[in-house]
Structure 1
């Protein structure tokens, strides 16, 4: 076991995510253990607690806790041929800068102590070392749809900035309980992590302006279609990108997303419909200097397609609903 280390971030590592920086310096340490180091405050940046998605600046000092030697950690087995084929089957777009996947419901973006099959692991199917694609944003495990990964370090920096600065237009489709009124509008307010039990660290709750940890969140919505007053198809465009933002906003609005067991409302779930989360990242539009934007769409997962068919939702309603978002 090594001693505590303090490592200065180099100029070449500027704007790199902390978890990627850690993987570069300590490739033998599993991602789940890195997440535990971060969660418990053992990894710090300039003396402060940090998250894996924090972007580093040149000259910052990263505190690294005692690390096991490379031989003391069991190396990950190579990606199986089946997993590599599965990863490639998810591709819906690629160019010199990025690869876009249609992430299935139930597939985590990154691993943990009990999660061994996840997108970050599957990216090995597209290259190793510097050729391995890099995550630039995330989706919840149970949210399906467009997930973009960068093919180079330069494109990772550019794409990450675009996602952070809200220059990427994102459109989600959700099936909500009840029918939001008015049919077109904006949901805004402050959100923060609940600070609840150990097993519920990622739960978000409404907060007041100025409250510690509170972050402003804005979601634009439009009802595309509905089945009586029981269920509706809602098109969503988040202006901000807070954890679980769309799920919290609809639940706080009184119209929780069908299949969401964490953020609920008083409207009962109709019988005969899938209990999987009905939230899908339908489309992203990525701007490019001097060129038209890259527009990427992902087909609905099976459980949402079946629900749309059962409720008779009209796909032609998507266009007017998205236009109403502005």
Structure 2
């Protein structure tokens, strides 16, 4: 992880530390260096990269370059900063876990909203992985041990709900295969703005990072950009201005439900990233405005909960299914909307 965003606050130092060394592939087409690095370094903005290039923190073949430089095959790109690279060792932390099920091979946890799944930039501690490494030892890893103990999937920080953790290498591979072949049953509950025209349907559209804002995922026609994504949805109940929707994932892309529902014209309630933290239905005045703002305060995060998981057990090969209750904030907001509709 490269902490370019921290560079401006570091005290003066004569010593520099190498954070990244990248050798460009033989088949790489000519591409501006800032665009090339944006694809290689997550969570770094283009402005920060350009600043690092101008300050000569980024060098190609041991020489500084301009922002307009186009990388060529076999170029060696180094990034050096005044701060040393962060130690990526995961620190076990005694954080309470809401355990739904556990046996010799599996662990099912109900993740609360606000908890990051695994350590990353700005969230090195307090994550689910920190809690898991304390609760369990010798968890398997993926991606050459990059710090994702036992995890075969994840959910966003402010999404609540079920996650399955593998406790052995065999179970890790067995579960990962089910996710790869889309045979895992994953059901989410979402509160969205408006009422979909069709009570149920399927959203098909590639999900990829927006060209305007890399923190946001956008939906593109299949085959153009991004990764193939399929979401099946069904309206469970409408409250005139919002609807409770069940979403079943066929694929599991980053922000898939959030991006797909916005693409359908129904952003998730209170989802600041995708515009759902504004009053999108009804006149934003008077008592209605006050009511919605109170609901936002009650649930200051996207109204999304990973409600159930179904899969084959790694050892018994039997189909097993787990369900969870909606968390208190989600349930309270639903009750408020139901009361408002009745009044």
Please, what TM-score do these two structures have when normalized by structure 1? 0.68
CA contact (8 A) 2:230 2:251 kept: yes
Which residue in 2 is equivalent to 1:305?
A: 331
- RMSD value over aligned CA atoms? 3.5
Equivalent residue in structure 1 for 2:195, among 179, 189, 195:
179
Shift of 1:130: 4.9
Specify the structure having the higher radius of gyration (Cα).
Answer: 2
Which residue in 2 is equivalent to 1:318?
A: none
SS at match of 1:134: coil
Shift of 1:248: 0.8
Please, what TM-score do these two structures have when normalized by structure 2? 0.65
* Structure 1: gaps (5+ residues): 1-31, 53-62, 67-71, 314-326
Which residue in 2 is equivalent to 1:166?
A: 182
Deviations 1:23-54 (A, max 9, x none): xxxxxxxxx569x9xxx9746898798799xx
Equivalent residue in structure 1 for 2:127, among 109, 113, 118:
118
CA distance in 2, matches of 1:192, 1:77: 29
Which residue in 2 is equivalent to 1:267?
A: 281
SS at match of 1:262: helix
Shift of 1:127: 2.4
SS at match of 1:286: strand
Shift of 1:261: 1.0
1:203 matches 2:232: no
* Structure 2: gaps (5+ residues): 6-18, 29-38, 43-75, 80-84, 142-148, 283-288
CA distance in 1, matches of 2:194, 2:120: 35
CA distance in 2, matches of 1:75, 1:203: 26
CA contact (8 A) 1:255 1:267 kept: no
CA distance in 1, matches of 2:90, 2:313: 38
CA distance in 1, matches of 2:186, 2:128: 20
SS at match of 2:134: helix
CA distance in 1, matches of 2:174, 2:40: 22
Which residue in 2 is equivalent to 1:240?
A: 251
SS at match of 1:307: helix
SS at match of 2:173: helix
- Give the aligned length: 256
